[in-house]
């Protein structure tokens, strides 16, 4: 006998793998972050519509039509599709494209800062015009330069 559970809304017995109750049509699954990925067999372009459809237990065709309809409302469809493409990983448990891009950017920044750190001897501070050591500016503050007249 297959695994069954009780629907929390109508108290009828349903299959354990069911996403909707066949008796009251209520959605019985919670949002599963592990199931939020784009690599599904029925994907077409990037798999975003399939990922949204699977996560929300909606028909894939309805989600695709929703993206098309949102395209006519201030181009929300392509913007939302692109944002979800950046946020949803391709494979289960994988990294999202935005996370891979941020990691790559962090590596490039670390390599650039690493070269700059090698150029400046550690422990020495840059000297000002009068020969005294200057304090580095606070983060986010640009140093002011004197205008010579």
Over residues 35-80, the pLDDT tens digits come to 678 887 777 888 888 888 888 878 899 999 999 999 998 889 999 9
C-alpha 69/C-alpha 81 separation (Å) is: 12
0.85 exceeded by pTM: no
Secondary structure (3-state) at 6: strand
Residues linked to residue 6 through DSSP beta bridges, in sequence order = 13
From residue 121, how far is each of 80, 106, 113, 126, 133 by CA, in Å? 48, 23, 13, 10, 14
């Amino acid at each position: 006998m297959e695994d069954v559970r009780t629907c929390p809304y109508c108290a009828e017995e349903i299959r354990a793998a069911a996403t909707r109750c066949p008796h009251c049509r209520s959605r019985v699954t919670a949002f599963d972050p592990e199931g939020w990925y784009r690599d599904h067999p029925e994907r077409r372009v990037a798999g975003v519509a399939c990922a949204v459809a699977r996560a929300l237990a909606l028909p894939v065709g309805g989600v695709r039509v929703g993206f098309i309809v949102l395209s006519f409302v201030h181009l929300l469809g392509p913007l939302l599709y692109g944002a979800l493409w950046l946020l949803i990983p391709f494979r289960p448990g994988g990294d999202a494209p935005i996370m891979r891009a941020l990691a790559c950017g962090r590596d490039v920044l670390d390599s650039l800062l690493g070269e700059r750190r090698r150029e400046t001897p550690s422990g020495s501070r840059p000297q000002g015009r009068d020969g005294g050591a200057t304090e580095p500016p606070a983060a986010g503050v640009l140093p002011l330069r004197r205008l010579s007249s």
